[in-house]
Chains A and B, each alone.
Chain A
Amino acid sequence: MGGENIMSVEYVAAKAHVLRTYLIAPSYIRDYLVGARTLKDIASGLSMTYYRDKLVSLGQKVTKEDLIRVINGVFEERYAILTKQLPDPFSSFVDAYIFRFDIRSLLRIMGEIIANIPHGPVSSYGYAFSKINYGQLLKIRSMEDLLSALSYTPLKSAVPLITELWEKYQSLHAVELALWSSYYRMLISFLQELPSDVQDPIWRVIGTEIDLVNISVILGPMIYGYSIDYLDRLLIEKTLRVSIADLKKVYGLEPELITSVVPDVYREVVEKFLTGRDYQAKTLAERIVLREVLSILPRNPAGFEFIFGVLKLFEFECENLRALIESVAYGLEKDIIKELMVV
């Protein structure tokens, strides 16, 4: 790594320190914002935070869409500030990481194509940092053409596998799993390009996410009796704490209890999945990732791990606020909203 790169990383890390101070305190979300009864209450609660200036333009009548647009706008702005001056290979890693947002939009487009329903406006799919030209993509009318178009995205190496699974199973679920496993494999390859001292802390976060994805994948057929044909191929081999060989034992001739093959840290998540409480399991899983993020922040306050950690915190804040807005719009109770918050 050159001296110039180190300077740039330190410079961006300094910016990350400043941006971190703008984050909403977890206690403010947990104790105050979750108590909001209306969207106006949320807007009023957010006006005490960094979001104040952005909310001014909304006027008196606040809608769910307006608030979500503001939240996404702030996330895009923060992401741009953090990544604009990042040198390679850090910027390539971050670009690869942020592709997860595009995968969600891709899935939505695929669902609409399969169900043969019209697409929404282009702006509802893409973000300012999107690596996909959604204007072109939305003109595609068949899954086959859409999968071919993936060759022009960072997932180009996964196109043959995804196409094969689609042709064989004609199932969005298979395509979705293939997209996510390809995404994490791609992310691991970009991670390996980073300096060795940075890899370990970042891997703790990404590895935790991969462990949780693998656990969720392995539980599907076990609880709900789905076919395991393709699941076996889609488990991500490189893991942090869980062992793929152990996970596969739950389908062996002498099946083992899933709770006995996962590390203690994930046990509660598994228990929630087993009782069909997926949304609680997901929140718990995200809280585990959050704990990993918070644990890597103090390691090197001037390094890339700090920048990545702060980026993750922005993502969590964005997701928390979106979930809060949606929940209040649905009229969910405070206790359930608390269960959905990753704080």
Chain B
Amino acid sequence: MSSEYVFPTKIFLMELKNKLQLTKFAKQILERKRDSLREALRSTMRSLIDVIIFLKRELIEILKFALATHVKYKEVIDAHALTSIRKAEIEVVEIAKGGIVVPKFRLKEVPVPKDGFPEGVRALVSRIIEGMHNILKLVELFVEFEMLLREIEITSRITNTLEKVIIPSLQEKIDYINMALSEIMISELSSLRAVISQLEGTKE
């Protein structure tokens, strides 16, 4: 039994019983949440596989294109690499999935430099901008996947703590109080019997 102090009183027993009932209810809810998260994870995993299969070709194509362009326009790309840094604006929309909030990324605006890029760099930039939606989709799924995994881990840990530690401990306390109370009752009963027999002896 835990080292926590236990009062062997009826009120405390009732309190503990309520606590146990509430904890069991919380455990049931968390188990349902865990199942729902697992289902969401499975669905994200399926989407991720589909997206990877779909994007594999396209992303590898972009990579090959970027490398081939770099081979052919090495000096130009090296010269322009850091001179025209532009930031793309990405909107983050939060949606609920499996009981948690996951982000969705939307490409809001890609600034196109007015003065342009030279041959080679312009095609590379254009290709990467075209592929941005797909790259964002992949990133979004990976973020969602990671968040779901983290949430499942937290929920499982709490459910396990409730199941293996809190509930047995409460149960143990209740059992102890029940036992203590019945012992007190028995002892009180014996005392009462002694008092009754004493009273009956006095009458006689």
Q: Which residues of A contact B (CB under 8 A)?
A: 104-105, 107-108, 110-112, 114-115, 117, 169, 171-174, 176-177, 216, 220-221, 223-227, 273, 276-279, 281-283, 323, 326-327, 330, 332-333, 336, 339-340
Contact = CB atoms under 8 A, between A and B. Distances in A.
B119 A283 contact: no
A176 B122 contact: no
Given A172-B80, A278-B120, A282-B120, A332 B115 contact: no
A177 B64 CA distance: 27
A44 to B, nearest CB: 21
13 contacts: A108-B78, A173-B117, A223-B122, A226-B114, A227-B116, A277-B123, A278-B72, A279-B65, A279-B73, A279-B123, A327-B67, A327-B68, A340-B71
Contact of B72 (A172, A221, A323): A323
Interface residues of B, number: 33
A23 B123 CA distance: 33
A111 B78 contact: yes
B116 A226 contact: yes
Interface string B54-84: 0000000000110111111111101111111
A68 B121 CA distance: 23
B113 interface: yes
A336 B122 contact: no
B32 interface: no
Contacts of B84: 172
> What's the dominant secondary structure at chain A's contact region?
helix
Contacts of B78: 108, 111
A336 B84 CA distance: 28
Interface of B: 64-65, 67-76, 78-84, 112-120, 122-124, 126-127
Contact of A282 (B70, B83, B119): B119
B122 A278 contact: yes
B71 A104 contact: no
Nearest to A216: B119
A5 B42 CA distance: 81
A327 B64 CA distance: 10
A104 B119 contact: no
Nearest to B125: A224
B16 to A, nearest CB: 67
A110 B69 contact: no
A104 to B, nearest CB: 4
Contacts of B115: 169, 171, 173-174, 226-227
Contacts of B118: 173, 176-177, 220
Contacts of B126: 223-224, 276
Contacts of A169: 115
Given A220-B119, A225-B112, A115 B82 contact: yes
A108 B73 CA distance: 12
In the A-B complex, list the 8 residue pairs whose CB atoms are closest, starting with the nearest: A226-B116, A115-B82, A111-B79, A278-B123, A171-B115, A279-B72, A107-B79, A104-B75
